[in-house]
Amino acid sequence: MKIRRFTDKGHEKWKSFYSDVFLNIKEKSKGKIPSPENIKDGYNNELKKRYQLILETQKEISEELDKSKDYKIKNYDNSYQLAESILFSLSEYDFLDIDDEKIWDWLALINFEKIFIPGKIRGCAIYRYCVEMDDFFSSFRHLVRGPCWAVNRYNTNARIFTCTKPYEQNDWLEQYIKISFMREMKVMSEVCMRLYYDYSLEESIPGTSKGNKPGIFPRLRDKMSQYSKVKFLWEMNADEIIKILPKEFNKYRENPTYKNDK
């Protein structure tokens, strides 16, 4: 099938459906953070039937993207694979032309059973499934748009931001996009991959995205902010940046799993 865009009516129908899912789960959790059991109980048979009806009739409330290539839903191991598959199907478009909430949310509908799995997911916030384009940071938390944005911008270096399961929020992406100068410097995604990505396990090294341990990402953020006042980082490559880091980064600088993909 080709990728599609919700009509206004279809988009409202999707948002109304997921809002009801969220409210029903919230009711089951009685004001607390929803547990996996709350999510399973809240996503009841009536809501499951509503989802199936929207899925079966989605062509009536969406429009085909003319230049879309064939898109096939697969069993994705992680969000990187999900994003790769989607971006390949949309490769005839510039990203800005398809950065549209009605496309992302249609993709959330089509992939809902891959990104909303009761019993496994530990969050069910509306922004995960209904993108909020007017809220800059929330828009990256959408489980389809976030990975697609990262892979489009950083290519294979986006793996550190998308190595989690398609139904999981990636904390690395969450922390990284908050730092505007690092977000805009594509080379920093390569630096993070080389320091904090386990190439053998294909996942980020645990405990490196936040905290106060020596050499982890918050320390890198602080050092880059400091260096930016005395060095022109924008013209430096990953080797040059890693080389100037102080000794506290040695543990990660000497990443034994690093593989040069170039």
- Same-domain pairing of 84 and 195: no
For every residue of 52-98, which 3-state class applies, written as one string? HHHHHCHHHHEEECCCCCECCCCCCCCHHHHHHHHHHHCCCCCHHHH
Task: Judge if 102 and 163 occupy the same domain.
Answer: yes
Residue 174 lies in a domain: no
Query: Does residue 85 lie in a domain region?
Result: yes
**Residues 160 and 184 reside in one and the same domain:** no
Among 141, 169, 197, identify where a domain stops. 169
- Is the same domain home to 199 and 72? no
* Contact present, 87 and 148 (Cβ < 8 Å): yes
Q: What percent of the chain has pLDDT over 70?
A: 99
User: 105 and 78, same structural domain?
Assistant: yes
What is the pTM for the complete model shown?
Answer: 0.94
Q: Are residues 19 and 136 in the same domain?
A: yes
Is residue 142 included in any domain, yes or no? Answer: yes
Structural domain of 233: 179-262
> How many angstroms from the chain centroid is the CA of residue 229?
31
162, 262: one domain: no
Task: Please check whether residues 18 and 144 belong to one and the same domain.
Answer: yes
End position of a domain, from candidates 118, 148, 169: 169
Residues 59, 107, single domain; the answer is yes
Q: For residue 199, what are its two tokens? A: 């190439």
Question: Distance between CA 255 and CA 20 in Å, rounded?
Answer: 46
The percent of the chain in helix, strand and coil, each rounded to the nearest 5, is: 55, 5, 40
State whether 161 and 187 are in the same domain: no
Read off the pLDDT of residues 157-194 as tens digits, 9 standing for 90 and up. Answer: 999 999 999 999 999 999 999 999 999 999 999 999 99
**Cα distances (Å, whole numbers) of residue 132 to 11, 50, 146, 162, 199:** 12, 23, 11, 20, 33
Model pLDDT for residues 51-73, shown as the tens digit of each residue:
999 999 999 999 999 999 999 99
The total domain count for the chain is 2
Residue 256 — pLDDT band, cuts 50, 70, 90? confident
End position of a domain, from candidates 169, 188, 206: 169
Report if residue 259 sits inside a domain.
yes
77 in a structural domain:
yes
Residue 155, classified by CB atoms within 10 Å of its CB into exposed (0-12), middle (13-18) or buried (19+), is middle
* Structural domain contains residue 222: yes
Assess if residue 223 is contained within a domain. Answer: yes
Which tens digits make up the pLDDT trace of 114-136? 999 999 998 999 999 999 999 99
